[in-house]
Amino acid sequence: MSKEGPAPNPPRPTGKAATQERILAAATSLFMETGYEGTTVQDVADRAGVSRATVFWHFSDKAGLFREAFSRLLQPFRESLENDLSDVAPPKRLQEQMATSERFAREHREEIGAFVRWALGSPAFRGMVVTTLLDLNQRFAGAITQTVAEIVPAGHDPKLIATGLMLAFDANLLLGIFDPSERGADDRGAAVEALTALVQASGAPQRQP
């Protein structure tokens, strides 16, 4: 892994991209505050400091805003899956992959929970939300499986072990929607860390008696 320290923050968007970002940020915050049905395009325009026509020019309708706001929310996790960690030792790589996912889930638990609840109550959005989440989940599972395959000894099925890790992560995320307490999050996070450490240790050389 490079020793040059964390990458610099990406430049802020300008022009059209900056306007879209402002509109999406406004839409997300309003969806969180008042729900999808309680948010109007005019509300979003007022919060973003643009005209209603500008919102419609960038996004066809409120449903388009919802879809793009949900995609924007998941973008950091999507980008983390694209990071090249091939030069990181597998045990350390697994730790980083699981820690990144746990950090994202904890930092965005409220937003993810809100989007999921709205989608479950709306057939128009259910397919989009479920498909998007399953796609990310499968991509994450693929990355974890590849790493686990480089750790566990021969004779163990890396896919099954990776599935166990994914189940722990998914359960943590789902339970966090219903139990957002810090203590609950800490306990579940510690359990995922312990399971990850067990997998890491499985690849360590065994001491001879």
pLDDT digits (tens, 9 = 90+) for 144-197: 999 999 999 999 999 999 999 999 888 888 888 788 788 988 898 899 999 999
Tens of pLDDT, residues 14-49:
678 899 999 999 999 998 888 888 899 999 999 999
149 domain-assigned = yes
Residue 94 has pLDDT above 60, yes or no: yes
pTM for the whole structure: 0.78
With cut-offs at 50, 70 and 90, classify the pLDDT of residue 12: low
Same domain, 171 and 75: yes
Where in the sequence is the domain holding 154, given as residue range(s)?
Answer: 67-202
Same domain, 35 and 88: no
CA separation for the pair 104, 75 (Å, rounded): 11
158 domain-assigned = yes
175 domain-assigned = yes
Same domain, 88 and 113: yes
Helix (H), strand (E), coil (C) string for the chain: CCCCCCCCCCCCCCHHHHHHHHHHHHHHHHHHHHCCCCCCHHHHHHHHCCCHHHHHHHCCCHHHHHHHHHHHHHHHHHHHHCCCCCCCCHHHHHHHHHHHHHHHHHHCHHHHHHHHHHHHCCHHHHHHHHHHHHHHHHHHHHHHHHHHHCCCCCCCCHHHHHHHHHHHHHHHHHHHHHCCCHHHHHHHHHHHHHHHHHHHHHCCCCCCC
Instruction: Count up the domains in the chain and report the number.
Output: 2
Same domain, 47 and 73: no
208 domain-assigned = no
Burial label for 65, CB within 10 Å (0-12, 13-18, 19+), is buried
pLDDT of residue 11: 52
181 domain-assigned = yes
Tens of pLDDT, residues 40-68:
999 999 999 999 999 999 998 998 998 89
Same domain, 51 and 71: no
Residues in the chain: 209
Same domain, 110 and 47: no
